[in-house]
């Protein structure tokens, strides 16, 4: 009966827990030709569950291809995120799968095929039917991560080695090394209680200024348990956790918060239970008189943990295996994730993948939260050889100025100012793009990459279609042969057969020797140069001609020599 009462109180408490950092998803229609990185292939292997993070890194960092992260805002645990209705790729996708839109498929294809064929990542596509998916965010950046030097090798072994996210994406360091340029501190088993006061203050400033923290094993209660023995940093608890030596361990099976299924941190299929079964601290329990903050989500917990069930029973308290939220419930501070284990790798392969995905998902989320946020504008259509303005604005308060802005194009052409430094508000940059000369419709991607003073990099890639000039021009005088002094009623027809406006159109006509222009043309030409060789040039400056637009130029001339009609 005591166990049932504690479990019931836990369920009631879950109704009060706030979910953190759940972005409003956007429903996006993906046209045929998209590719999907399937994250719902269960049971997981390292290839299907962790190597996709290395692929996403490769696409984002090395190819600058944006990757759409699909998370349904209404799904339950292991529920469907989106469905492809028919054709290649038909089926339902789960687990927070990734999508590469058709516009970027050409740039991504070599990389996708490499990871699919060599690393056995489950890549599906190109799709042959359009489909819609709820997109949490477009992934375009990775965070500046620091792995704690005491036991950072534990998270290297559990996540980085299997995912093949490269070492260049993080560094090894200590809390005293943290600066404003660091985004995520990963601290497996560590001893914060032994830190010098100066180290504690650097660490606190890091969290207070928005730095994120992933912590495991007894590093968690060493931070959150009370002074004087511990640090009393109540990031996710109200007033402290029980120290690691003063409570029992947890035992599977564990309970999963159904509402947290929509949170990016919890994007995995199946359970992680046995992967969190080693180390000096495997579960986190609020101390007497304390509880989890209302802003903290306890995503996985042991409903029958001995210190909760008692005696004495502690109704309303959760023995957390995975918990997350903003430090102290303050969104201006760092985001915190606790995962109760020493190695997060003590289960079977599928369970270990689930546990490592919690960290991998946090890496993606931290990259979203710390990147410079960009808004860019480029013309969606351009004519061969034409020029048009492009610009980017950097959201105030994101990244660290000054910013280096670089423009590039997948199809050639040129930028008036391809590299710019932006140092002061409103943090905007603009330049002119001149499209390449093309003879066929040419798809193109214009990219703007922004790197802040800390090396954080974000980019926007936007599709542009380059069209060849599609103007038809016909001239006739309705005569096959003429006589001297005969009138020639010339008609010049021109038509814009292309899909976009032809800008600054100029029509030039040359009257040959033996033909005299009569200055009654309609519309009147802009200029009529009389050439030294006896020919006459007529020039009309017509401005812009819209798609499908056509016009007629009328002019008269007389024959002053016997000649064949021009």
Residue-wise pLDDT tens digits, 98-155: 999 999 999 999 999 999 999 999 999 999 999 999 999 999 999 999 999 999 999 9
pLDDT digit string, tens, across residues 350-407: 999 999 999 999 999 999 999 999 999 999 999 999 999 999 999 999 999 999 999 9
Identify the band that residue 478 occupies on the pLDDT scale cut at 50, 70 and 90: confident
Closest CA to 356 of 515, 347, 459, 380: 347
Find out whether 265 and 317 touch, Cβ atoms under 8 Å.
no
pLDDT digit string, tens, across residues 236-254: 999 999 999 999 999 999 9
Q: How far is Cα of residue 302 from the mean position of the Cα atoms in its chain?
A: 35
Find out whether 235 and 328 touch, Cβ atoms under 8 Å.
yes
Percent of the chain past pLDDT 70, that is, above it, reads: 95
Find out whether 405 and 447 touch, Cβ atoms under 8 Å.
no
pTM: 0.87
**Cβ-Cβ contacts under 8 Å for 269 (sequence gap 6 or more):** 39, 40, 42, 44, 78, 94, 95, 354
Q: Euclidean distance between the first and final Cα of the chain, in Å?
A: 106
Identify the band that residue 502 occupies on the pLDDT scale cut at 50, 70 and 90: confident
d(CA 214, CA 339): 8
β-pairing, 319-326 with 297-302?
Answer: antiparallel
pLDDT of res. 471: 82
pLDDT digit string, tens, across residues 27-51: 999 999 999 999 999 999 999 999 9
d(CA 512, CA 520): 18
Determine how many CB atoms are found less than 10 A away from the CB of residue 520.
10
pLDDT reading at 4 higher than 60? no
Segment 509-525 mean pLDDT? 93
Q: Is 265 helix (H, G, I), strand (E, B) or coil?
A: helix
pLDDT of res. 23: 59
pLDDT digit string, tens, across residues 433-474: 999 999 999 999 999 999 999 999 999 999 999 999 888 889
pLDDT reading at 14 higher than 50? no
pLDDT reading at 16 higher than 50? no
Tokens 């090894």 sit on residue: 172
The three-state DSSP-derived secondary structure of 24-52 is: CCEEEEECCCCEEECCCCCCCCHHHHCHH
Token digits of residue 416: 């008036």
Token digits of residue 165: 């996210």
Closest CA to 104 of 140, 51, 132: 140
pLDDT of res. 201: 98
Task: Give the CA count within 13 Å in the CB-facing half-sphere of 375.
Answer: 6
Closest CA to 139 of 53, 30, 81, 72: 53
β-partners of residue 447 are 408, 461
d(CA 36, CA 149): 36
β-pairing, 170-173 with 442-451?
Answer: unpaired
pLDDT of res. 469: 81
d(CA 557, CA 515): 6
Token digits of residue 548: 């499908």
d(CA 123, CA 106): 15
Find out whether 473 and 492 touch, Cβ atoms under 8 Å.
yes
pLDDT of res. 274: 97
Find out whether 352 and 158 touch, Cβ atoms under 8 Å.
yes
pLDDT of res. 482: 75
Report residue 434: phi and psi, to 5°: -105, 120
Tokens 């990185």 sit on residue: 37
The CA distances from residue 20 to 97, 150, 326, 428, 522, in Å, are 20, 29, 7, 31, 69
DSSP per-residue codes, 514-565: TEEEEEEEESPPSB-PBPTTS-EEEEEEEEEE-TT-EEEEEEEEEESS--B-
pLDDT of res. 2: 30
Tokens 């009060």 sit on residue: 16
d(CA 289, CA 299): 22
Is residue 558 packed enough to be buried (19+ CB in 10 Å), middle (13-18) or exposed (0-12)?
A: middle
**Cβ-Cβ contacts under 8 Å for 100 (sequence gap 6 or more):** 34, 35, 36, 37, 59, 65, 67, 68, 108, 112, 125
**Cβ-Cβ contacts under 8 Å for 417 (sequence gap 6 or more):** 407, 431
Find out whether 313 and 5 touch, Cβ atoms under 8 Å.
yes
Tokens 């509880």 sit on residue: 291
418-427: long-range contacts (C-beta < 8 A, 24 or more apart)? 422/394, 425/396, 426/393, 426/396, 427/393, 427/394, 427/395, 427/396, 427/401, 427/403
């Amino acid at each position: 009966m005591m166990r049932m009462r504690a479990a019931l109180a836990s369920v009631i408490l879950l109704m009060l827990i706030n979910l953190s950092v759940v972005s409003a998803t956007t429903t996006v229609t993906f046209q045929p030709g998209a590719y999907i990185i399937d994250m719902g292939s269960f049971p997981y292997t390292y290839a299907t569950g962790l190597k996709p993070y290395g692929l996403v890194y490769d696409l984002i960092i090395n190819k600058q291809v944006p990757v759409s992260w699909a998370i349904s805002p209404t799904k339950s645990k292991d529920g469907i995120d989106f469905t492809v209705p028919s054709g290649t790729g038909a089926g339902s996708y789960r687990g927070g799968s990734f999508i590469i839109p058709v516009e970027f498929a050409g740039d991504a294809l070599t990389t996708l095929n490499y990871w699919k064929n060599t690393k056995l990542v489950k890549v599906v596509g190109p799709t042959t039917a359009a489909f819609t998916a709820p997109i949490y965010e477009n992934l375009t950046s990775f965070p500046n991560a620091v792995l704690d030097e005491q036991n950072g090798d534990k998270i290297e072994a559990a996540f980085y080695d299997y995912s093949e996210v490269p070492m260049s994406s993080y560094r090894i360091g200590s809390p005293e090394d943290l600066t404003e340029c660091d985004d995520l501190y990963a601290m497996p088993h560590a001893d914060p209680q032994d830190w010098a006061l100066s180290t504690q203050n650097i660490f606190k400033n890091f969290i207070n200024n928005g730095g994120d923290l992933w912590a495991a094993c007894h590093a968690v209660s060493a931070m959150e348990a009370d002074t004087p023995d511990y640090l009393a940093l109540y990031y996710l608890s109200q007033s402290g956790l029980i120290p690691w030596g003063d409570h029992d361990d947890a035992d599977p099976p564990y309970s999963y918060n159904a509402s947290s299924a929509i949170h990016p941190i919890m994007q995995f299929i199946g359970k992680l239970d046995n992967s969190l079964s080693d180390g000096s601290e495997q579960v986190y329990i609020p101390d007497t008189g304390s509880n989890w903050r209302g802003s903290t989500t306890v995503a996985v917990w042991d409903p029958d943990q001995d210190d909760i069930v008692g005696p004495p029973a502690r109704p309303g308290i959760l023995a957390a295996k995975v918990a997350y939220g903003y430090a102290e419930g303050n969104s201006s501070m760092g985001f915190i994730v606790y995962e109760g284990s020493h190695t997060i790798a003590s289960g079977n392969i599928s369970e270990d993948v689930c546990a490592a995905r919690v960290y991998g998902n946090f890496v993606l989320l931290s990259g979203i939260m710390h990147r410079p946020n960009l808004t860019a504008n480029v013309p969606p259509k351009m004519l061969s050889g034409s020029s048009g303005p492009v610009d980017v604005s950097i959201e105030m308060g994101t990244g660290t100025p000054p910013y280096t802005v670089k423009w590039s194009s997948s199809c050639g052409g040129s930028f008036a100012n391809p590299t710019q430094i932006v140092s002061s508000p409103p943090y905007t940059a603009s330049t002119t793009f001149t499209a390449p000369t093309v003879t066929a419709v040419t798809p193109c991607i214009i990219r703007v990459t922004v790197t802040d003073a800390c090396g954080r990099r974000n980019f926007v890639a936007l599709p542009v279609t380059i069209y060849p000039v599609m103007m038809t021009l016909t001239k006739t005088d309705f005569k096959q042969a003429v006589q001297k002094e005969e009138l020639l009623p010339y008609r010049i027809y021109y038509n814009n057969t292309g899909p976009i406006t032809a800008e600054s159109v100029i029509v030039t006509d040359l009257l040959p020797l033996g033909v005299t222009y009569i200055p009654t043309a309609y519309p009147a030409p802009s200029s009529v140069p009389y050439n030294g060789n006896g020919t006459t040039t007529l020039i009309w400056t017509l401005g812009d001609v819209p798609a499908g637009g056509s016009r007629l130029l009328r002019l008269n001339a007389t024959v002053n020599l016997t000649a064949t009609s021009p």
